[in-house]
Amino acid sequence: MKRFIGKIEESQAIIEGEELNHLRNVLRLTVGDEVIVVNGDGCDYVCQITKIDKNIAKLSVKSKKNNKNNAKNQISLFISAIKREKLELVVQKAVEEGIKNLYIFESQFSTMKLKGEKLVRYQKIIESATKQCERADFMKIELLSFSQMLEKFAAHKTRLFANEREGEEFDFASLKSAKDIAILVGCEGGFSAEEKQQILQTKPENISLGTRILRAETAAILLAGIASLFSGN
Ligand code: SAM
């Protein structure tokens, strides 16, 4: 059954905008057809189309069920702002990997200055990736300063700091029982010595991902995937 992002209002669902275009003009669905509507609350709503016109599709909710693909664990990915198209790739992959929260922050060597309006673009990527990987909960995304990042990172029970050149080997199998995990990755220029010092004061696992220097997006996607898989997310 086809999946759409939409609004749920009690026993009715509404699909508009690009999602309506896809339903009406691409898939040519009509009144009476059944689809799954997702609004990000973690549930799949099986709905039947009752009305379609060029601006809106109205549907009646037939059933509501929890989605088995939602993020099971509290895994937060913290990444310093990297170039736009690379960051958008990280947003998309983090959704597919079941990441719960994505925090983007500025650090001394960040290439991109954080602007709030980018969140609209990221939210679109999150919704599209949520639909594609058949999740029903939307990953949360937030822009932080460096000090806000430190505070949120330190609040997680298991803290994985991807530290090229100084990190150590880590037994990823130990993540089997971890449910509250934070992953921290630097931007293209990495972290300054002073920033690394502040991060290490939060007593994270100081992790090497091997001797090769990975791109920030590679390190973020790799470590998020490892944490998600090993923790049974
Ligand atoms: N400018 C840094 C340097 O040359 O040392 C490289 C930064 S790297 C491109 C971007 C980020 O990816 C790093 O801050 C780190 O978080 C992560 N990373 C890259 N390679 C890694 C590795 N082998 N082990 C752990 N983390 C790595």
| Whether 49 contacts 24, CB under 8 Å | no
Residues 136 and 97 in one domain: yes
Atom number, ligand 1, closest to the C-alpha of residue 212? 23
How is the chain split among helix, strand and coil, in percent rounded to 5? 35, 30, 35
Q: Average pLDDT of 124-142?
A: 97
Residues 12 and 99 in one domain: no
**What residue ranges line ligand 1, CB within 6 angstroms?**
162-165, 167, 185-186, 188-191, 207-210, 212-216, 219
Per DSSP bridges, beta strands 57-66 and 12-15 are antiparallel
Which residue among 164, 165, 226 is best mutated to probe the pocket of ligand 1, counting the most ligand atoms within 8 A of its Cβ? 164
Structure tokens at 198: 């502040």
Handedness of CA 142, 225, 130, 159 (dihedral sign): negative
Closest Cα to atom 7 of ligand 1: 190
Structure tokens at 161: 């700091």
Atom number, ligand 1, closest to the C-alpha of residue 184? 16
Question: Ligand 1 centre from 231 Cα, in Å?
Answer: 23
The boundaries of the domain holding residue 174 are 74-230
Q: Average pLDDT of 15-38?
A: 97
pLDDT at 214 exceeding the cut of 80: yes
Closest Cα to atom 10 of ligand 1: 216
| Domain containing residue 41: CATH number | 2.40.240.20
Question: Ligand 1 centre from 41 Cα, in Å?
Answer: 35
Residues 175 and 221 in one domain: yes
| Residues 38-86: tens digit of each pLDDT | 999 999 999 999 999 999 999 999 999 999 999 999 999 999 999 999 9
Question: Ligand 1 centre from 189 Cα, in Å?
Answer: 8
Residues 82 and 174 in one domain: yes
Q: What pLDDT does residue 28 have?
A: 97
Question: pTM for this structure?
Answer: 0.96
Residues 48 and 159 in one domain: no
